[in-house]
Chains A and B, each alone.
Chain A
Amino acid sequence: EAGVAQSPRYKIIEKRQSVAFWCNPISGHATLYWYQQILGQGPKLLIQFQNNGVVDDSQLPKDRFSAERLKGVDSTLKIQPAKLEDSAVYLCASSPTGRVPNQPQHFGDGTRLSIL
């Protein structure tokens, strides 16, 4: 089975610029997560989708971050405008659905974002 795909792997931008990340979850996984991992810390959830609906976006800085999941498959995460503190690795994860809840999450390779 193909894993969670993310692109790009690396991105360098200047502050106040915009950036977008893309994620394609494992086929059939209805739940998709975006995590932010700042250097030296564990990942922190930004947003969780169930199909194309938002389950949890309580820690998403909505003044600059946005995310969508069209048709319940691929997802994009956008930052506009970027700040220095947004430098981090952005991880996408997905988990399977079915009659059994609480399935483990599978992670992509992440996108490493550097803000100059």
Chain B
Amino acid sequence: AQTVTQSQPEMSVQEAETVTLSCTYDTSENNYYLFWYKQPPSRQMILVIRQEAYKQQNATENRFSVNFQKAAKSFSLKISDSQLGDTAMYFCAFMKRVSWQGGSEKLVFGKGTKLTVNP
């Protein structure tokens, strides 16, 4: 079974600064995906960024980037130029890769990190 650990229950950052959220995971799988999802207060969960484990290059999406260390089973999220709208719960998630057409696996989530961006 896979497990995902987020060791920082809460973090805060000043607007325009950079913050890094940590995530470690445990799996015996070799092919998988890692995700960061954002859940604003009372709003729906949205995908921030996705990393494919077989790709060595770290994924980036505008102000969001990851540091993927496969051997260490570490997957951190860096938010640059933090904005007030980045205030949310951030969840790290694991998904096993499947090869069958049209298929997808469940997400295994960590407990989340509550990020507050201060003005």
Contact = CB atoms under 8 A, between A and B. Distances in A.
A104 B50 contact: yes
A38 to B, nearest CB: 10
Interface string B7-32: 00000000000000000000000000
Interface string A74-108: 00000000000000000101010111011111111
A50 interface: yes
- What range describes how many residues of A lie at the interface? 20 to 34
The bracket for how many chain B residues form the interface is 20 to 34
Contact of B110 (A42, A56, A97): A42
Contacts of A98: 101-102
B109 A43 contact: yes
**Chain B interface, DSSP helix/strand/loop, else mixed:** loop
B43 interface: yes
Given A42-B110, A56-B106, A101 B100 contact: yes
B91 interface: yes
Contact of A109 (B44, B109, B110, B111): B44
A24 interface: no
Instruction: Select the residue from A3, A43, A93 with max chain B CB neighbours within 10 A.
Output: A43
Contact of B44 (A3, A99, A102): A3
B33 interface: yes
Interface in B35-66: 35, 37, 43-47, 50
Contacts, number: 71
Interface in B53-104: 91, 93, 95, 97-104
B88 to A, nearest CB: 13
Interface of A is mostly: loop
Contact of B98 (A101, A105, A106): A101
B4 interface: yes
Q: Which of B50, B102, B103 gathers most chain A CB within 10 Å? A: B102
Complex A-B, nearest 4 residue pairs according to Cβ-Cβ distance, in ascending order? A42-B109, A97-B102, A107-B45, A45-B106
Interface of A: 3-4, 30-31, 33, 35, 40-45, 48, 50, 56, 91, 93, 95, 97-99, 101-110
Interface of B: 4, 33, 35, 37, 43-47, 50, 91, 93, 95, 97-112
